[in-house]
Amino acid sequence: MTVAVGAERSRPFLWAVRAGFVTRSVTYGVVGAIALALALGAGSAPAAPDQQGALALIARAPLGRVGVAVAAAGLLAYALWKLSQAVFGRGPEGGGGDELTDRLGNGAGGIVYLGFFAVAVRILFGSSGNSSNAPSHAAAGVLGWPGGAVIVGATGAVLIAISLYQLYDACRGGFAEDAKLGEMSPPERRTFMIVGRVGLAARALVFGLVGYFVLKTAIDFNPHEAVGLDGALGRLHHQAFGAVLLGLAAAGLLVFAAYSLFEARYRRL
């Protein structure tokens, strides 16, 4: 336990966590840019508008594999930091919280970003796979279990509930509780609150849409209804006024990318 606490409080680890916020910014920025290009009628996108597609696109750039390797390290540090907050409650700079909801949220976030780290490692070693089909394949497997439809439906309901809470938290400005507001100038503080509210609300709505399709999978007993981030944005594009809706979602994700850069600098760890 003492070794874990010491590692969490070490300066290299804290810098690595902040690099994780920068990685989050870059990946969501690329996702938002791809989705915006689709909304503007750019035709076939160079990559899927999700985290895996973003990292794969980065890997194809000059020195891209170096960038993905740095991103993988940042994602791992970020995931371990979230998991440490789930265990210890508060981080070395007072971030996080001791309540059960805070610990569960941090634990879930840590697991999600461990998944993103695994995606980065696969891309780094040349095995990107097909992220678009993964949710439906996973749903098909679970639906075959006894009570599988209940499990899939509960997963979708939980995703929707988390998204609604994140939307509420974005609107009330709860994210500012973990920020070093005292180190910001008044213009920075105003900008931070705006990009935080808009960016977090946009991300919550997009992942709420993912949860809706997962829930619909259980109701219709159709694994093809299950989608990830790219699938949710793709289906949004095919709705009435889909280009406008996708453009708004893309802009919101770009704002979330800007918010992540603020967190890289001002988040209390």
Per-residue pLDDT of the chain (269 residues; tens, 9 = 90+): 554 555 556 788 889 899 999 999 999 999 999 889 888 876 556 677 777 878 888 888 887 889 899 999 999 999 999 998 888 877 777 777 778 878 888 888 888 889 889 888 988 887 655 555 667 667 667 777 778 889 988 988 988 998 999 999 999 999 999 999 999 999 999 999 999 999 999 999 998 988 898 888 888 877 777 767 777 887 877 777 788 988 999 999 999 999 999 999 999 88
CA distance 86 to 72: 21
Q: At residue 90, what are phi and psi to the nearest 5 degrees?
A: -100, 145
Q: Does residue 203 contact residue 159 with C-beta atoms inside 8 Å? A: no
Helices (H), 40-90: 51-59, 64-88
Instruction: For the chain, give every domain's residue range.
Output: 2-266
